[in-house]
Structure 1
């Protein structure tokens, strides 16, 4: 089997503007996510960021991408509509998509979900416990029960997304909140995995179990069809009844 071709997309704004984030991720959050994927998979990984031409997501780049990971936060509105639509079209045609943390409000994710994708949140150094609720799912392979993240931003319900096709992980926080932190959907021929952890103020993407879950998600989201094509909407003339 050919290596998985992964594009790791990161907004890369906090790292440029905030010294404490740069200390945690000196090469950028996208570089940390890419390194974690390389640790676990036979893959070819490239990175792309917001300020590159076409945000680094040209037609050629997406055509050569099996799975795209997406992290954004402060500049969702700066993502060009045509690029967001290009990504959506590739997902419907078979490309896998991993949406991380605050990417829940990205144009890409909200466009695919068709809902506001809003949630409750609190950035107060909460401890997070990530619980596996589907131990047979490939995304949870090799993942301890629970995954302990000492500090991260809290996300809480209600999470305004369509009911997941599969609920894989849930999180509980030191304030008592719970959250559906690992959800999958199928959109057209593509697979989508949303994974909650990863606020820029914390070293979450250096966490070995977070890295493993993301890599497992990439493996799961890999296209299964030999060619990338949009789903066909079939209509048949029925004549008169």
Structure 2
């Protein structure tokens, strides 16, 4: 996957566009486009063809205008990427969260997973310098609320949210790649597995690789594939939350002095 980078545009212009603080263009004829319409077209292209296909010229073609028309709204692709990201983050439901912190963090992870699966091009944009728009800020606020008041410091709250989001990003990336393999090869994982196992059984030495043979066979029989993305996501998320739980319990539990 080719990688794009958020935060690569002009800071002042990006923030004006993200927060809609810049008025519509006044030069020339009456504007035929809006920032929202341009972003919607760019997202449609990225959803259908990938972020690599999304360019200022491609978006202009989608809208039936000349490429230079877009530059009256966006200085370049960097600013457009920032607003695209902030816009799709606005799709997150951010429902009132019930239950304890673990249930809330679990909900955060699942909501982010669904968003990535709807817009897999997001996985190709590095957000080390996130677009500081209203939806990004609302997302951060919402996710921090999941761990507010459970005994973590502010730095630990931020790190916990980042840990969950990082896990989801990696898990969904693997999931998307697995789906792309099926699309491009025309072969399901089960078909691939069944085609390889008979030959592997004749070639592989079970005595030389006893654990790999036993565990690999068990997994293959369980999922009819060498890997199941849904099971991997559920297992990994549960173990991640177990780790946070251990930290919280250690932080809030009674201090027991070791008896000498």
Q: Under a length normalisation based on structure 1, what TM-score does the superposition of the two structures give?
A: 0.26
User: Whose Rg is larger?
Assistant: 2
* More helix as a share of residues: 2
* More strand as a share of residues: 1
Q: Under a length normalisation based on structure 2, what TM-score does the superposition of the two structures give?
A: 0.24
